Amino acid sequence: MGFLEALILGIIQGLTEFLPVSSSGHLELAKELFGLDLEGDQSKLVTIVLHGATGLSTVVVYWKDIKDLVAGLFKFKWNWQAKYVVMIILSMIPVFLAYVFFKDFIDTFFEGQVILVGCMLLVTAVLLYITHRYSSGEGSMTKGRSIIVGISQAIAILPGISRSGSTIATSLLLGISKEKAARFSFLMVLPVIFGGMLIEAKDFVEEGGEERLNVMALIVGFVTAFVVGVVACKWMVAIVKKSKLSYFALYCLIVGVIAVAAGVWIA
């Protein structure tokens, strides 16, 4: 992977992590388009590192919320901050179980599965369209709802299923307000992203994979994804408030059809 490819992948990740179009799906399509010859572990590490960059973007955008949560926890009381953190932990359980029991199977999703990505983009398109047809409520996140949203996040491991799109859409369908849905969606993924990034990086280094990867190019991709991600995160919050998800449903439909057609043609 060269610097130009890393730059483009960083831009794609920065935009698509927050916009409801599936960052992992677009990264897999971009890798195929550029003909990047990355082995399964290498391909997944690129995806994890770029996700780490956009995770850092989320920290910057939601820094005040994160600071309030941490400050509240140190009061050692059962306050709203403690309840919110518990809901985030509950939302992580489905993803944790998926990685514990299906890790090897999940790894196969990141090996040029163009048709799979296309089909999952079509699923994302349908989900976004359905959400557009219903008005959101003014409810708040609860423990039960957080687990349901967490299941959506686990399903979004599939490249092509938008994590932000599926979790925000699920929250809106559960009657949660738009602003609260967006905030929880972006905060709930932080432990998953950073935890996964550390685990995958550790395994990759132990296996000597760093000798086969351009580390400087990876840094370029990381910085690019971070900068673009900050802008895209703020943009996505505004989009959710204005209920403009239908535009992305059409986009996912078009890209999904093209990906499936291209996958069939290549096969």
pTM above 0.85, yes or no: no
DSSP notation for 58-71: HHHHTHHHHHHHHH
Give the relative orientation of helices 3-16 and 215-241 as an angle to the nearest 10 degrees.
Answer: 20
Q: Tell me which of 264 and 184 has the higher pLDDT.
A: 184
pLDDT tens, position by position, 3-25: 777 888 888 888 888 888 877 77
Q: Could you tell me which residues come within 8 angstroms of residue 227 by beta carbon, excluding any fewer than 6 positions away?
A: 14, 57
Sign of the four-CA dihedral 196, 202, 208, 213: positive
Find the range with the poorest average confidence among 39-48, 57-66, 87-96: 39-48
